[in-house]
Copies of this chain bind each other. A is one copy, B any other.
Amino acid sequence: MTVQSLPEARDLSHHLNDLARNRFPSPLKDIFRQMQRPGIISMAGGLPHPSLFPFVDASVSVYPPNGDLSGPIPPASDRMTLNFQKYPSSKGTVDLSTILQYGSCEGLFPLREWVRKYTLDVYQPAYSNFEILLHEGNTSAWTKVVRLLCEPGDMILCEEFTFPSAMAVWVPLGCKAVPIKLDGQGMRADHLEEVLANWETSHPGLKRPHVMYVVPVGSNPTGSTMQAERRKAIYEICARYDIIIAEDDPYTTLQFPEFDLSAPAAEVVHQSGEDFAKSLVPSFLHYDRDGRVIRLESFSKVISPGARLGYFVCNPLFAERLLRATEVESQTPSGWSQGIIYSLLETWGQAGYLSWLSRLRDVYQSRRDGLCAALAHSFTALPARDYAAGVEGAEGIALYHTGTDPKSIKPDQRPIATFVPPTGGMFLWLSFSLSLAPRFRELVAQGVEDPEKQFMDEFWQALAENLVLLTPGSYYVPWEGKDKITTGARGAAREIGYLRFAFSYEDPEVMAEGIKRMQQVVSKMFD
């Protein structure tokens, strides 16, 4: 099917907020049109002449796209070089006089074209007239989406545990979260349907949410990845209730096969770039016949965060309003970042980039495996479906004190903790059964206001004292307003506490040592 044969996006302009509606069209259009006239002398634009940029040329030495990423820096003979001259030296190259000048607010044209082809080939969107707009990373991009769609006081659909920086954009606007329950695949379609179907009775007088924020691959913090069937179901619900989906997908290519507890040290199977691309779960774009998905993709996790570069894929109307905002707010991402990343992608080629992403995924997969194996090694780890079948919400792998005889475990016996081995991204989410902790029971007996929060704060502190630093689960609790701060007030699951483990940075051996330290604290604090 060619892109031309696909439908165009629907008119979704009723989703724009007042701010976005009120933006002026740029008055400079007339000037840009006149600038095309042959022979024109322009004294219209306030551009510095590139002869006055102090940069003459630049070169950047880079990895080949298909090397082994677990070893040392590749030798010079294997590397590739990105070269930049001040003025264009041949057709199609990017030069410093262009990338360091004021540029098009949509972003560097050849980079957008590169990304457009990649989007078509890899994501196969379901409508034809999608647009690509570069941005300064997904956090900045999500801010732009909130300013495009949300009015103060709006309620925003999100995962039951969500990314704190995403929340920090909407909270000061007086917006509140509508958390949707999670399972091992992320947001649950049945709960989403329930919330929306009962909205008028459960939230009388409040406008039904029309924006969803979701991290569908390697969810931060839970590490879950939403598979194709779930996506289709969520998309259909959103289409029915007219909801815009902001797909924040920085971990999109860090997707892993299931972790096999029976073979924790299994070798990672390397795939070709082509097979790798085919193996990826489809983006929401692939189901998006309406143009109601705003996809936020970023080079932060797969090239480098410091570039502050990513891109929107969305319908033309949203793209135009996002562009108007970008013109007056951020203008463009850094020209250095755009030029270097474009040159890298162009030098590698699409096949090379897919190969790079595949190799990179392998490294994260082995780190994921290392962390899961370390947990299995420091505890007695058993499949929850076999050993904690009677424990509500227990999913994935159940952890018991080391030395526990599996045969002694009753089906309704709470494990110390459970986790679903991450199928994407950089994070693992561990749920602790707090009823096994004497100190927690003491806090409950004392009648403290939020015993879950207080115990987890103490537990986190004890871990830090034992030199292992994790992220408290409380950071990821969506903000529902001042009256819903405690675990009880939020109606959240009781007697459970959470910690997030990042496996992106440390070597597996170091993580194993960290898990050992955690195990020591757990053995003291949990029955």
Contacts and interface: CB of A to CB of B under 8 A. Distances in A.
B328 A165 contact: yes
B86 A73 contact: yes
Given A43-B514, A52-B360, 12 more contacts: A19-B173, A23-B171, A23-B172, A24-B171, A37-B464, A40-B469, A44-B471, A54-B62, A54-B65, A140-B329, A309-B334, A334-B336
Contact of A333 (B22, B31, B334): B334
B340 A336 contact: yes
Contacts of A58: 58-61
Interface in A490-527: 500-506, 510-511, 513-514, 517
A137 B467 CA distance: 40
Copies of this chain, complex-wide, total: 2
29 contacts: A19-B173, A22-B173, A31-B471, A37-B464, A41-B467, A41-B469, A43-B514, A46-B220, A46-B426, A47-B505, A48-B305, A54-B63, A54-B303, A54-B304, A55-B340, A56-B63, A56-B73, A59-B59, A102-B306, A137-B331, A139-B329, A140-B330, A165-B327, A168-B328, A306-B332, A306-B335, A308-B332, A308-B333, A336-B336
A307 interface: yes
A261 interface: no
A118 interface: no
B328 A100 contact: no
A41 B506 contact: yes
Contact of A301 (B48, B140, B371): B48
A504 B48 contact: yes
Interface of A: 18-24, 27, 31, 34-35, 37, 39-63, 65, 69, 73-74, 79, 86, 99-103, 136-137, 139-140, 143, 164-165, 168-169, 171-174, 220, 300-301, 303-309, 327-337, 340, 344, 356, 360, 363, 371, 426-427, 464, 467-471, 475, 500-506, 510-511, 513-514, 517
B475 A27 contact: yes
A73 B53 CA distance: 10
Contacts of A73: 51, 56, 86
B511 A43 contact: yes
B42 A506 contact: yes
Contacts of A101: 304-306
Nearest to A84: B60
A331 B45 CA distance: 30
A330 B475 CA distance: 20
Nearest to A169: B328
Q: Which 3 A/B pairs are nearest by Cβ-Cβ distance?
A: A306-B335, A334-B334, A100-B306
B53 A303 contact: yes
A504 to B, nearest CB: 5
A331 B308 contact: yes
A168 to B, nearest CB: 4
Contact of A27 (B34, B40, B164): B164
Contact of A100 (B56, B307, B333, B501): B307
A286 B329 CA distance: 28
A306 B334 contact: yes
Given A61-B58, A335-B307, A469 B44 contact: yes
Contacts of A69: 51-52
A56 B75 CA distance: 10
A43 B501 contact: yes
Nearest to A306: B335
A503 to B, nearest CB: 7
Contact of A40 (B21, B327, B467, B471): B467
Nearest to A17: B172
Central interface residue in A42, A304, A340, A504, by most chain B CB within 10 Å: A304
A125 B165 CA distance: 34
A364 to B, nearest CB: 9
Contacts of A51: 69, 73
A45 B337 CA distance: 23
